[in-house]
């Protein structure tokens, strides 16, 4: 049996302790990160997460010996220059922090373009000289204009997924175009026996918030229409029931503290309307004629009353809308 160095045993034990001691364990790729930037990233993560680099075989042994179920599957996501990340944050927050900490970096020969690299049209800082030919050589349309080299149109010089050549990398740096990002790439993270890969951890926050708001509004609408009482739907259901009961009482001419004035006003208006039809007959006395005359000279009052009633109806509608609108306050 081959002898195993003690430091390797100690390293595996240390890694296993860290794995078992944190609810979330991630696998990251630290390839091509300059030492100064790596040091700065470690400082930014201090207090939130711990990054531990080691030999791949030792990290695999630590994952195999861990007491956590299913965590050994993290080994399948090791690539580039792997490292383990230990944290108490949930995987989605960890991923966002790592993505936000990335910084632009110059192109390197042999690197793969993460997306289309476009050189924008416009004036450059270059004076006429050999660089004009260098630009044209790598496919960038350029000419001399007013004593400066000008790029005449937007040009995609490297498509997403293609390798960046040495000449293109050099020119992009001279043009101060930095198409790459330097940072810790979280490949996968483990939490509660589940492995979350980077494609799952990538979340469009605006779309997610919109989807939640939309789902909330639909749920409120469903609970109101299905008469399901919840903390949110109960005020709306009571308001709706109150409006329907008032309308029923008015149509059925049932006198209550809420309907009496409205029913009397309606009866009074109907009486005046009937009297106006009989105004030429003896059925209308002088007192009634005076009331009809007064009514005719006060159209503004009637209109104002109608406007007030319309405003009251709008207020009731706004109350129902406020529940759905209040979602904005819940989610910021």
CA end-to-end span of the chain: 62
Instruction: List the chain pLDDT tens, one digit each, 332 residues.
Output: 457 889 999 999 999 999 999 999 999 999 878 787 888 888 888 888 999 999 999 999 999 999 999 999 999 999 889 999 999 999 999 999 898 888 888 888 888 898 999 999 999 989 999 999 999 999 999 999 888 899 999 999 999 999 999 999 999 999 999 998 888 999 999 999 999 999 999 887 788 889 899 999 999 999 988 988 988 889 999 998 888 888 888 888 888 888 888 888 888 788 777 777 766 656 566 666 666 666 655 554 444 555 555 655 554 455 445 544 443 433 33
Query: How far are the Cα atoms of 120, 138, 143, 151 from residue 147, in angstroms, in the given order?
Result: 19, 22, 10, 13
**Cα(307)–Cα(160) distance, integer angstroms:** 62
Are the C-beta atoms of residues 256 and 249 closer than 8 Å to each other? yes
pLDDT attached to residue 302: 47
Give me the pLDDT at residue 63, please. Answer: 95
Q: Rounded distance, CA 245 to CA 265, Å? A: 19
The residue extents of the domains of the chain are 6-102+183-203, 117-178, 207-331
Q: Is this model's pTM higher than 0.75 or not? A: no
Superfamily for 6-102+183-203?
Ribosomal protein L10, N-terminal RNA-binding domain (3.30.70.1730)
* pLDDT at site 198: 92
Pick the CATH number of 117-178 from 3.30.930.10, 3.40.190.10, 3.90.105.20, 1.10.3480.10: 3.90.105.20
| Amino acid 292: pLDDT | 66
């Amino acid at each position: 049996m081959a002898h195993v160095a003690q430091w390797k045993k100690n390293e595996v034990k240390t890694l296993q302790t860290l794995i078992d001691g944190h609810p979330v364990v991630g696998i990251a790729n630290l390839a091509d990160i300059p030492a100064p930037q790596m040091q700065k990233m470690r400082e930014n993560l201090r207090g939130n997460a711990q990054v531990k680099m080691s030999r791949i075989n030792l990290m695999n042994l630590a994952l195999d010996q861990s007491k956590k179920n299913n965590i050994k599957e993290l080994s399948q996501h090791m690539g580039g220059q792997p490292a383990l990340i230990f944290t108490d944050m949930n995987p989605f927050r960890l991923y966002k922090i790592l993505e936000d900490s990335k910084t632009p970096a110059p192109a390197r020969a042999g690197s793969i373009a993460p997306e289309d690299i476009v050189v924008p049209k416009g004036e450059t800082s270059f004076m006429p000289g050999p660089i004009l030919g260098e630009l044209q050589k790598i496919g960038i349309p350029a000419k001399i204009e007013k004593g400066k080299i000008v790029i005449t149109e937007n040009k995609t010089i490297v498509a997403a997924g293609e390798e960046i050549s040495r000449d293109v990398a050099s020119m992009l740096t001279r043009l101060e175009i930095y198409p790459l990002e330097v940072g810790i790439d979280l490949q996968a993270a483990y939490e509660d026996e589940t492995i979350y890969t980077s494609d799952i951890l990538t979340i469009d926050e605006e779309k997610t918030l919109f989807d939640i708001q939309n789902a909330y509004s639909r749920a409120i609408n469903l609970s109101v229409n299905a008469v399901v009482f919840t903390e949110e739907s109960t005020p709306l259901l009571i308001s709706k029931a109150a409006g329907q009961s008032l309308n029923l009482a008015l149509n059925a001419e049932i006198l209550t503290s809420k309907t009496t004035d409205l029913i009397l006003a309606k009866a009074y208006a109907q009486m005046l309307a009937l009297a106006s039809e009989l105004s030429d007959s003896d059925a209308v006395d002088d007192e009634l004629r005076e009331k009809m005359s007064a009514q005719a000279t006060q159209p503004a009052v009637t209109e104002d009353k109608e406007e007030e009633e319309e405003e009251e109806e709008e207020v009731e509608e706004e109350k129902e809308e406020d529940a759905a609108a209040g979602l904005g306050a819940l989610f910021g």
